[in-house]
Structure 1
């Protein structure tokens, strides 16, 4: 059997096994080790898994993973993130669509403190959604706002998904995070502009807070909420400024962020033993899950490298189909959107990164820039029917009056905005690359 056929058999077997509902890392690791045993015998198969585990343990930036996850859960479980929304409720309420705009800003800040889109979705659905519906915001508008805003969690640093991409593509995590800042803020600004224009044209979609409600909040209360809401933002500043200025490395900054969040929760009197236990359990579970996924991805990629499967894909795209470099890039992005209808971002990355990353390098595209493109495409895939990840998370968390049809319709304008943002970053790579080129210090 030719190596090309073995590579296709590995890929096909993995997709079939994924339909069984078993753990993704178990399936991918199993296929990799069995293929290695078949190709290189007992010694080669055992050595493959062992060598990749040693490579994983030696990757120092991986220490950032539990630190940022811990920080995000501390802010969430200790209810410090709730203060942010109360602040936005008071300060953005008088603007048409102001609470929806405040929700987007909240999602950006939650993303900057957690790195996982599910955290933003959980906070948005439990805190923002009931408040927005109670104040007569259009249900399709608000469900779209929360889904779109939560998707920023995998783009705005510290993105956990970018840590995984950095390991597979062998790129500096710091550069990837800096590259995600401007596209993430640009996309958030485009969401805000869309909401403001839409609510300005049709105020019924996002009515401003009434004069009576506005008068009920005193100036001192507004200032108190402002200070309370700015605390989580201060944690992010304390964490990121030393890194951007070159005083700390990435790992040290992640420790600063985790420690600052813990101290803030203690100072506010919200760090009980139950909260600490819950935070620790969640951190351990998520960290272990990602480590197993990375290990499986490394093993699978090592087998693909040994098979030279990249040469087969390159020949298919460039020699047989005669496609240009940009046409190949667009096809790869479309494949992510297609896979995103039934897989999450980590599964997509693990399955195709061993093939796509070498092709991107061969096509002479910047791998940091491509990491941003991948992440933005995952955001779109999260919200693409019929099985977009965020669609079903929203359905599980939304009240009964918000139907699945409402959720599907709500994402159309926001997906359009995201596609426009993706096109801008593809057309103008410096949107992503300017900041890391200016600020990055290894």
Structure 2
């Protein structure tokens, strides 16, 4: 059997195992270990050991549990509720103002968390009931929460970009910086859509009643205090890192310590909270580590077979495709897989194949990491099986049906596709800031 057929057999076996409901790391690790033993005998067992050592020696891996800990600690500190009250008053007078405030809330939560699930949970429990009570259109606000929460995997400190950096061997700091402008551009496009749509159809997002807007300026300024803690945490964590005062790992440690400080200021820091947060952090961190380990082992076998070179030859020489055509095919495959899998599973499955291929085609891997992440956002919200769609269905009240959720994402998916096209056509949107900062 040729090496190309072996590679194809490995890939197809892994996909079949995933469709049977096996855990991602189990399916990928089993195929990788089995292929290594069959191809190279007992010596193939060294691949898994080598991958383990490579993983454990990679110092930036320490950022993963620290950011996860920070996210869980912040979700229990009540910061999100205070922020929403602030946006409620300041944005309320605008048509669709509370929906705009929800996007602002999601951006801040993303900048403190790095996970889309956290933004979805906060939006569905805090913002959604209030928006519905205020007479906002249920289809529009459902889309707002899903789109806003998807920013969590793009805006730093994105955990997805940390994982991409680990697998692609790219500086996580550059990836974070690469996601800043695209993330803010997407947020601005969401806000522009909401404002324009609600001006055209005021019944979709009514402004806050005049009696609720008549608040002394001193009271409004007091509400701004809700933004002080998030700004302090963001500055201590990301600002010091960008200024070169802290390293990436030190930045994550500062973020975790700041989150504990925020909980203490709120009077919520106790033994029960710490124990619960540590348990959740350990569970998620171990899951990510097993997945990365399986990906590294699978990648080592794939590379040993020369599969990447064979696929590059197939696309470029045999099929005559250009680099951009290959890139578009890869992005479309992400959207297709995103209907069934989450971002981590997609990254692990295609990383051994796509990342080396992208590098060999001459594309910048920092820029590609941002493209991958935006494509994941689109895939999350693509019917019929997008990951965010079912998360929203689980959290939404019974009055919001699955058909409503499907309809709600259409305009926001279109906006994300436009954002993806902008970053594809103008790579500087993702590469300018990291090049500028790292040039110092």
Length-normalised TM-score, structure 1: 0.98
**Cα separation, 1, equivalents of 2:236 and 2:356:** 37
Q: Which of the residues 267, 276, 279 maps onto 1:278?
A: 276
- Point out 4+ residue stretches in structure 1 off by more than 4 angstroms: none
**Cα separation, 2, equivalents of 1:155 and 1:164:** 12
- Identify the residue that residue 235 of structure 1 maps to in structure 2: 233
CA drift at 1:224: 2.7
CA contact (8 A) 2:78 2:266 kept: no
Q: How do 1:213-292 and structure 2 match up within 5 A?
A: 213-215=212-214, 217-292=215-290
CA drift at 1:229: 3.1
CA contact (8 A) 1:32 1:303 kept: yes
Q: How do 1:56-205 and structure 2 match up within 5 A?
A: 56-205=55-204
- Identify the residue that residue 386 of structure 2 maps to in structure 1: 388
CA contact (8 A) 1:107 1:150 kept: yes
For the aligned residues, what is the CA RMSD? 1.1
Note the alpha carbon deviations across 1:225-247, whole angstroms, 9 max, x for none: 21023312221112111111111
Note the alpha carbon deviations across 1:369-400, whole angstroms, 9 max, x for none: 00000000000000001100000000000001
SS across alignment from 1:263: helix
Are 2:28 and 1:28 equivalent residues in the alignment? yes
Q: Which of the residues 325, 328, 345 maps onto 1:327?
A: 325
Unpaired stretches in structure 1, ≥5 consecutive residues: none
Q: How many corresponding residue pairs?
A: 440
CA contact (8 A) 2:146 2:381 kept: yes
- Identify the residue that residue 14 of structure 1 maps to in structure 2: 14
Farther off after superposition, 229-238 or 83-92: 229-238
**Cα separation, 2, equivalents of 1:308 and 1:342:** 28
**Cα separation, 2, equivalents of 1:322 and 1:391:** 38
**Cα separation, 2, equivalents of 1:441 and 1:381:** 34
CA contact (8 A) 2:178 2:431 kept: yes
**Cα separation, 2, equivalents of 1:192 and 1:417:** 11
CA drift at 1:221: 3.4
**Cα separation, 1, equivalents of 2:95 and 2:275:** 41
Q: Which of the residues 379, 400, 415 maps onto 2:398?
A: 400
CA contact (8 A) 1:81 1:232 kept: no
**Cα separation, 2, equivalents of 1:272 and 1:208:** 40
- Identify the residue that residue 38 of structure 2 maps to in structure 1: 38
**Cα separation, 1, equivalents of 2:361 and 2:98:** 44
**Cα separation, 1, equivalents of 2:12 and 2:353:** 14
CA drift at 1:440: 2.4
CA drift at 1:166: 0.8
**Cα separation, 1, equivalents of 2:415 and 2:309:** 36
- Identify the residue that residue 362 of structure 1 maps to in structure 2: 360
Unpaired stretches in structure 2, ≥5 consecutive residues: none
CA contact (8 A) 2:77 2:262 kept: no
Length-normalised TM-score, structure 2: 0.98
CA drift at 1:257: 1.0
SS across alignment from 1:364: coil
CA contact (8 A) 1:244 1:440 kept: no
Q: How do 1:289-308 and structure 2 match up within 5 A?
A: 289-308=287-306
CA drift at 1:273: 2.4
Note the alpha carbon deviations across 1:151-202, whole angstroms, 9 max, x for none: 1111001111111111111111110000000000011000001101111111
CA drift at 1:218: 4.4
SS across alignment from 1:209: coil
CA contact (8 A) 1:121 1:394 kept: yes
CA contact (8 A) 2:154 2:180 kept: yes
